[in-house]
């Protein structure tokens, strides 16, 4: 049996610290989950005789999608790495444990890959600031799970080796995670959907 708690919508107020403290206390006590009710829009008791809900249309309410939402890019990185791990395990490829990360990647990439249980392999940049293709190819093996690329990189450069990088990783059965930390530099210039990243694992 799994036992959880109901999030106290009225009692927590609007202080994010109080919400954090509540969630951490619930976790520390060993509960399995937190249930947050969704607000019923238009729950006006005056226009709905007999309405018996604990909430009214005037009550302050924490929207569940915001309450449980990702508040940092690193959470998306971790999610991407966990998806990559699940993809390979579902395909029976438990040996795929290496994630290659260029030294020009977003700083949290190595931590996200390590938290997902991967071995992090650093790939140097070449003299132009792009991914060093020789170093990349030398690091490709049957253990390759994925490659994390920030585009444009933290050097402020668009990695012009991106097509060769993704082709090399895909040919080895790996997933390419595209970090969008600096994506605003591409707004109006390129469509992310046109990039060769593995936005999500694919067979």
pLDDT of 41: 54
Asked whether residue 167 is assigned to any structural domain, the reply reads yes
Answer yes or no: do 88 and 165 share one domain.
yes
User: Which of the four pLDDT bands, split at 50, 70 and 90, describes residue 72?
Assistant: low
* Residue 33 in domain: yes
Band the pLDDT of 196: cuts 50, 70, 90: low
Which of 18, 46, 67 lies at the terminal end of a domain, its last residue?
67
Tell whether 126 is covered by a domain.
yes
Task: Identify whether residues 166 and 129 lie together within a single domain.
Answer: yes
Share of the chain above pLDDT 70, in %: 76
34 occurs within a structural domain? yes
Decide if 103 is inside a domain: yes
pLDDT, the chain, mean? 83
**What per-residue confidence (pLDDT) applies to 199?**
47
Residues 54 and 122 in one domain: no
Residue 158, domain extent: 73-194
Say if residue 45's pLDDT is above 90: no
pLDDT of residue 200: 38
Same domain, 57 and 113: no
Q: Which residues contact 160 (CB under 8 A, 6 or more apart)?
A: 128, 130
Instruction: For residues 134 and 157, state if they share a domain.
Output: yes
Q: What is the pLDDT of residues 130-174, one digit of tens each?
A: 999 999 999 999 999 999 998 888 888 889 999 999 999 999 999
Contact 121, 135 (CB under 8 A): no
CB within 8 Å of 84: residues ≥ 6 apart: 99, 116, 145, 146, 175, 177, 201
Instruction: Report CA-CA distances (Å) from 153 to 28, 57, 108, 136.
Output: 39, 46, 13, 16
Same domain, 32 and 83: no
Mark whether 185 and 92 lie in a shared domain. yes
Same domain, yes or no, for 165 and 82?
yes
Q: Answer whether residue 203 is part of any domain.
A: no
- CA nearest 175: which of 153, 155, 133, 203? 203
Is there a domain that residue 199 lies in? no
For 198, counting Cβ atoms within 10 Å of its Cβ (0-12 exposed, 13-18 middle, 19+ buried), the class is: buried
The span from the CA of 121 to the CA of 106, in Å, is 14
Q: Is the pTM of this model over 0.85?
A: no
Domain closes at, from 52, 67, 82: 67
Q: Are residues 18 and 86 in the same domain?
A: no
Is the pLDDT assigned to residue 201 strictly greater than 50?
no
Cα 119 to its chain centre, rounded Å, is: 18
Same domain assignment for residues 125 and 189: yes
Compute the average pLDDT of residues 24-34.
91
User: What is the number of domains present in the chain?
Assistant: 2
Looking at the structure, tell me whether residues 10 and 47 fall in a common domain.
yes
Q: What is the pLDDT of residue 84?
A: 93
Answer yes or no: are the C-beta atoms of 138 and 92 closer than 8 Å: no
Give a yes or no: residue 175 inside a domain: yes
48 and 128 both lie in a single domain = no
Give the pLDDT confidence of 177-189 residue by residue, as tens digits. 988 777 777 777 6
Choose the weakest-confidence range: 47-61, 76-90, 111-125, 126-140: 47-61
pLDDT in tens, 1-19: 789 998 887 777 778 888 8
Alpha carbon distance 113, 97 (integer Å): 10
């Amino acid at each position: 049996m799994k036992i959880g708690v109901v999030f106290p919508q009225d009692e927590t107020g609007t202080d994010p610290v109080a919400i954090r403290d509540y969630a951490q206390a619930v976790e520390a006590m060993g509960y399995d989950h937190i249930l947050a009710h969704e607000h019923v829009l238009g729950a006006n008791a005056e226009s709905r005789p007999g309405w018996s809900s604990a909430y009214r249309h005037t009550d302050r309410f924490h929207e569940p999608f915001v309450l449980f939402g990702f508040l940092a890019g690193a959470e998306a990185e971790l999610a991407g790495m966990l998806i990559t791990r699940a993809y390979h395990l579902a395909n029976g490829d438990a040996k795929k444990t290496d994630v290659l990360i260029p030294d020009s990647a977003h700083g949290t990439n190595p931590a996200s890959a390590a938290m997902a249980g991967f071995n992090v392999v650093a790939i140097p940049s070449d003299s132009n600031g792009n991914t060093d293709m020789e170093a990349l190819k030398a690091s490709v093996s049957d253990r390759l799970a994925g490659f994390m690329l920030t585009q444009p990189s933290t050097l402020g450069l668009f990695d012009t080796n991106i097509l060769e990088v993704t082709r090399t990783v895909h040919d080895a059965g790996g997933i390419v995670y595209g970090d969008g930390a600096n994506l605003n530099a591409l707004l109006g210039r390129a469509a992310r959907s046109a990039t060769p990243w593995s936005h999500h694992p694919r067979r």
